[in-house]
Each structure stands twice: as structure tokens, then as C-alpha cells.
Amino acid sequence: MSTKKDVVIIGAGPAGIQAAIHAVRKKCDVLLLGRIERSALFSAHVENYACIEGVKSGEELLTAGLNQVKQFGAEVMDDDVLKVLQIDGGIRLELESGVDVETRSLIFANGTSRKKLKVPGEKEFFGRGVSYCVDCDANFFRNTTVAVVGNASAAIDGALTLTGYATKVYLINKELVASQELQDKLKQSDVENISSTWVTEIKGEGGDVKSLLLENGKEIQLDGVFIELGAKGAMELALELGITLDMETMSHIETNKKTETNVPGVYAAGDISGHPYQMAKAVGEGCVAGMEAATYAKKLKRSE
């Protein structure tokens, strides 16, 4: 199944919601991808935002914003993005549900947070066998034994990707929460799925990862561990498109004042474009990104 849009926004936080509002009000066909509960704002409280009196919960603000997006006519899907690819006339996104979306313009608004396991050995062996990005580091683990840790789409997709590099791939999870289509692909693959348990320690020797200890008492000998909790992050998806990162931090997408990236038709707003991590900045950049992406999409549409 495939669909076409003028503007697609990844991330349902304040930047993504504001971008969707402005893009759809410029008469564009808009798709907002994401879940508000994944936003860093969701569990926070706000009391320093202009024109809002008292303390408001992030959940309250995001819920109201999402209702606005829907009322203005944008489509909202709580689907995860597995891959982004450049195609003639725009970008194609492959979603967890199996849907392909073609869009004329794309906005990254999905933040920068990297969820960690918080287990012994994770920090010590980061870069020495512990990775948070399959798409970035898979090539370093050719002909090795690796494990992916996670319960959702990023973990399953990462494990499937690694079968093209590693000799043996394990998937460690408590309980898989992903689309049936993705789980069916997993069952048909060579990945060894170890469910109903979790990692308690990452062990190493000589500075490199050597094994994983699990809650069920088992120890798995391996060469690398990929921690993929939740959906794919902005960095992984951005790298697939060849988007330039901020050279100082390498953890933010580089943009100009129009929120443009180095890839035509692709924009970034909110935490993903750097400090300060504030709702006011995210909303402002979301506004700019939404308008710019809509303008770009409409111009491209007229030339087709």
C-alpha cells in the first residue's frame, strides 16, 4: 500500500505539531507521524511559556495541539518510520505497518533523545562493541555475532538489517510491540528471537564486548550489542538521506534560518536542530519549517 503527500512531518512534539498546523493551513496535504507520549514535553510541566498562565502539563498541551492538527485537516498516524529514501520528485518513507509514503517535502521534528539500557558495561563499552545505531555501524560487525536489544520497530528492523552483515543475530526483548507485518518478517528471517527476558549486564574483556548477561540467567557470547529502544531516531534516518550534521556535536542536524537542511525539500525543527531544548524554540522553528516545507511542496507540484 502506498500514499502520496505534500508534506510529511516525523515527530508529534511541539515542533512537529506546529509545523503540521502551518503546513496544512497553506492548503497542503499533510501527514504527521508520531505519538505525543514519545515527546520529551509529554511528562513535563510548563510555566514559562508566553501567553499561558499558571502551570500546564505537557500532556495537556500536546493533546490540545494534536486536536488542532486534526481539526485543520492534517492526517495523523502513530506509525514508526523504518527507512527514508530519496526518489525523483521527493522522498519515500517506509513505515512499520508496511505502508510506503511519497512526499514532496519532509520535516524532521523527532528530537534527539537516546534511550539507554542503564546496565553495567553499557557506558564502558560504548564504541567498543556497544552501539545505538544499526544503520551507522552495521558494517563494522561483518562476520561476527551480535545482539539487538529492544521491544519495538527499531529493534526488529535493526536485527533484520544485521542479517546481511553478521554471521549470527540475536534479538533480546521483553515483549515485541510492533506491527504484524514486521513481526512476520522477523519470523521468516534467521534472527534468533529471545523473548520474555532483558539484559542485566554487558561484559567485556580487553576493552571490547564479549558477552551479555540476561535476566533468565543465560549468558550469550558475542562481539557487539545494538541498543535500539523505541522507534528509529532522527540521526539514523537523517544519515540515510545524506543530511549534514552539526560538526561540533555530531548529534544535531545542521540547518539555516529557514530550517532547511543541505538536502532540498528536507527541514528540521526543535531539539534535533540544537540547543536550547525549550518548547518556545521548538514551536518557533516548527512554524518556520511548516511554512517553508509547504511553500517548497507547492512550487514543486506546480512544476510537475
CATH number of 165's domain: 3.50.50.60
Domain assignment present for residue 167? The answer is: yes
pTM summary value: 0.79
CA distance 61 to 182: 32
Domain assignment present for residue 124? The answer is: no
Q: Do 202 and 279 lie in a common domain?
A: no
Residue type, position 13, single letter: G
Choose the final residue of a domain: 172, 199, 227: 227
pLDDT of residue 249 exceeding 60? no
Over range 138-160, report the average pLDDT.
Answer: 94
For the chain, the average pLDDT equals 92
Domain assignment present for residue 123? The answer is: no
Q: Do 237 and 105 lie in a common domain?
A: yes
Phi, psi of 133 (to 5 degrees): -150, 100
pLDDT of residue 54 exceeding 70? yes
Tally of domains within the chain: 2
pLDDT of residue 17: 98
Q: Do 209 and 237 lie in a common domain?
A: no
Q: Do 36 and 100 lie in a common domain?
A: yes
Q: Do 201 and 269 lie in a common domain?
A: no
**Which band of pLDDT confidence, cut at 50, 70 and 90, is reported for residue 178?**
confident
State the residue range of the domain holding 33: 2-113+233-303
Domain assignment present for residue 121? The answer is: no
Vertex 114, ends 110 and 120: CA angle to 5°?
A: 165
